[in-house]
Amino acid sequence: MDLAGLQRMKREGRKIVGVVAWDYPIAQIVERAGVELVSVGDSVGVNLWGQKEGEITLEEMLTVCRAVRRGVKRALLSCDLPPAFLDIESAKRLVDAGADLVKVEAGPQTVARIAGAGIAVFAEFHGGRPSAELVAEAKALEAAGAALLDFRHSGPQAGAAVVQAVSIPVLGGLGGGPWLDGRLRMAHAAIGYAASHLDSSTETYANVARVALEAISAYAGDVRAARHLKGQRPA
């Protein structure tokens, strides 16, 4: 997959599937599922490592980007620039680590600087404002050189207006919907991986956390009862 392929999907009205992945095994799985875009989000710090918001460093993002790149062969790979590292040199380092696009939450000036260095930019912006303002912002990001937009909390009215106003694909995570050119969701949220899913009724496509709890509990039971472990032959 390449950016021209995503552009073609937008023109043809075919939805783009994006998944946020943070590790090599998940990257291999989503690649096999045939998604078009894999995004390495700086959300890994909060959701996988227990960090505080904004604590993640560029070096940590580089490590995750390289790991996911090893598992992704066909899909486009986007990697987030942490908010404290919105500069060309940091963006180049992500590209060197395997990113096809660099994702930034920043205004047109920052997008223009990075895109002007020959780096494909996935620009993020947020809804919650009048549609006219959001359309203007989307157009400004496109004019600045953004190759892809992540419109979070779009809503059906503003989302549809932005999709029609720009020629580049518009995806969305939180608050997105079928009015966008595609969707972006954390793989761990889709499969119910987090411990919070053990006691949650939130709808997901699976509940890996519950299955994992049952499996580890069964393993613990075998060890405590001095039974042979499943999947292992007696020596």
Q: What share of the chain is helix, strand, coil (3-state, %, to 5)?
A: 45, 15, 40
Whole-number Cα distances in Å, 70 to 21, 26, 36, 220: 12, 11, 16, 33
Radius of gyration (Cα) for the chain, nearest Å?
20
| Longest alpha-carbon distance in the chain | 70
- Structure confidence at residue 173 (pLDDT): 85
Report residues of the chain scoring pLDDT below 50: none
* Inter-residue contact 192 to 204 (CB < 8 Å): yes
- Structure confidence at residue 197 (pLDDT): 86
pLDDT tens column, 29-40: 999 999 999 999
The token duo for 70 is 């090893």
- Structure confidence at residue 27 (pLDDT): 97
pLDDT tens column, 63-73: 999 999 999 99
- Structure confidence at residue 228 (pLDDT): 86
Q: Which fold has domain 3-190?
A: TIM Barrel (3.20.20)
pLDDT tens column, 98-117: 999 999 999 999 999 999 99
- Structure confidence at residue 235 (pLDDT): 61
